[in-house]
Chain A
Amino acid sequence: MSSTWVIASKELLDLRRDRLFAVLIGFLAIATLISVGVAAAAFRTELDAYNLYVQQLTASGSTTPPAAPQLFPLQLLRGGVEYLEILGALFAIVLGYGTVAKEKYRGTLQLLLSRPVGRFAIPAGKVLGLAVVWLVVVAVLTVLTTLAILVIGNAPLQGIDVARILIAAVVAWVYLVFWSSLAIGITALSPRLSTGLIVSIVVWLAFVLIVPQIGDTMDPDNQVPGGLFATLQIQKPDELKVLANFAAFDGIRNGLEVSSITKHFERLSFAFLGIKDKYNQQPLGLVWTDMWGYAITLAAATLASVTFAVGATTRRNLQRKIS
């Protein structure tokens, strides 16, 4: 067994018995399930309102029913995606930081460094361990949310829906590995462990909350609940004509948004799950044609983050933490 896998296996065993980990993941699972429940309730309310409206129209003698609301089961996952986007990233940072910091605080770093392991074994083992942990967590959350759609949402799923959920799960896994790896690298580079955690959280704050929020705030369609253009009953082609007059502004807004890896995760997830109206019920090939750039960027960023973690967690950086 290679040293990398030995370290990864220890991380798995250690985290399996870690109470903080259990609490964080339990919280994430419950929050995700509640979000499905809340979304399902909102769907039912919307449907009830529609049915009541149809009844009233029928009672008044109208024979032309109004257009039914477009409700699809996978849209119930919107809240879950947003929880993973924000809380998942934060928890990934906490776990990434913890995997380095605990060795120092527990006093096991010296024993680890006194072993004849290769240059990259320790960081690679830690990254691999967390990658497997996130794989298991995402798999469990995927099963739970799929069951929640069926049971709480009482909505049927087709084969293509399951495929969409699986794609979104892979995207979520890659996104979480990105944040954990980044936290490992930053913590290893920081002269003090607390600095590593603070810097990681500042990066999270900037790229998960602030930058996407600025982009969202600049979006003219977000100025009115329900969407500016929809409220004004402006059709898509006309909307595009209006926006063409603000191309520079929209370019800046979009540039700000896509500078955040979180936005890549969100756009990919919303597209493949059909949460974004434009991609709802569209073939996967069509979604991929539009979204491959985001997928490649997310994958490249995660690869860079893993490389950073492995490169930054040098023996010398770890040794500095002993004294």
Chain B
Amino acid sequence: MTKSAIATDNLSKSYGSTLALDALSLEVAAGEVFGLLGHNGAGKTTTVNVLTTLLEPTQGDAEVAGHSVIADARAVRGAIGYLPENVQFYDNLTLIENLRFFAELSGLRRPDQRIRDVLRILDFEGRDRQRLGTFSKGMRQRVGIAQAILHAPSVLFLDEPTSGLDPEGVRTLRETIVRLNSEFGMTIFMNTHLLSEVTKTCTSIGILRGGTLVHHDTLAKTLADFPGEDSLEEIYFQLESEPVS
């Protein structure tokens, strides 16, 4: 049996009287690229925020990389990498200063060699002395990936990683995600709207609707279960509109 990198148990999150996440029970196996789909307000970002310990769940618990997000939140933070939607940095600082800051906060004692390795992986060589304020949106997303993988996390959370990127930026980021998964064995949990990207990168998907998980399966099985549909987009809209069982 494949070990779970992420396992949630009856996980709920409310904002006042609004239930954003409703009793989510989900498992993502180690080494998977999992895509969480859903309309705006479906609870995707809330799910990532709870799993990355940025928010405390109202009910239930989750294990990420073997650690409880409630009882052992700090250990979770040490084991994960996180790229928020519209990632921002300290624009007054250079690329290497930003990365050194996040690497040291992640507990790396002498991070310079690791930073050089990551810059090479993400094709940033020669730009390390530039201030982040001069970087394009696509480059900043890649810097976002860089800061997330500095400490070689076992699980990587990406919240709308392709948001606002041009087609070239989307392709570069997709190649990076696939590479991180295939070469470094990272489990990747990704929120996205871009269904075309999901088919190219994800091994399994989940669909959230109004905070409830309405579908969870491998991408291959999902596609096989809907032989009459031509694309994931059609399957997505069909699943999204079905009544919750």
Contacts and interface: CB of A to CB of B under 8 A. Distances in A.
Interface residues of B, number: 31
Contacts of B80: 114
B54 A111 contact: no
A103 B203 CA distance: 35
A117 B78 CA distance: 9
Interface stretch (B25-33, B82-90, B181-189, B227-235): B82-90
A112 to B, nearest CB: 8
A117 B105 contact: yes
Interface stretch (A10-18, A53-61, A300-308): A10-18
A113 B86 CA distance: 16
Instruction: Select the residue from A13, A17, A111, A113 with max chain B CB neighbours within 10 A.
Output: A111
B106 interface: yes
A9 to B, nearest CB: 8
A176 interface: no
Secondary structure call for the B interface:
loop
Contact of B102 (A1, A111, A118): A111
Contacts of B88: 106-108, 111
Contacts of A13: 92-93, 97
A10 B101 contact: yes
Interface in A1-28: 1, 3, 6-7, 10, 13-14, 17-18
Contact of A1 (B55, B87, B104, B147): B104
Given A6-B104, A7-B105, A115-B106, A107 B90 contact: no
A316 B90 CA distance: 23
Interface string A70-111: 000000000000000000000000000000000000111011
Interface in B143-163: 147
Contact of B84 (A6, A18, A107): A107
A322 interface: yes
Given A3-B105, A10-B93, A322-B49, A111 B77 contact: no
Contacts of A116: 74-75, 77-78, 105-107
A323 B55 CA distance: 9
A179 to B, nearest CB: 23
B166 interface: no
A111 B83 CA distance: 8
A322 B89 CA distance: 15
B201 to A, nearest CB: 22
Interface in A97-142: 106-108, 110-118
Contacts of A114: 52-54, 77, 80, 82, 84
B15 interface: yes
A118 B77 CA distance: 11
B105 A115 contact: yes
A7 B55 CA distance: 22
A289 to B, nearest CB: 47
Nearest to B84: A110
Interface of B: 15, 49, 52-56, 74-75, 77-78, 80, 82, 84, 86-93, 97, 101-102, 104-107, 109, 147
Given A108-B90, A111-B89, 18 more contacts: A1-B104, A3-B105, A10-B93, A13-B92, A18-B92, A106-B89, A107-B87, A110-B54, A111-B82, A111-B88, A111-B147, A114-B52, A114-B82, A114-B84, A115-B77, A116-B105, A319-B54, A323-B15
8 contacts: A10-B93, A14-B90, A106-B88, A106-B90, A108-B89, A108-B90, A117-B105, A319-B56
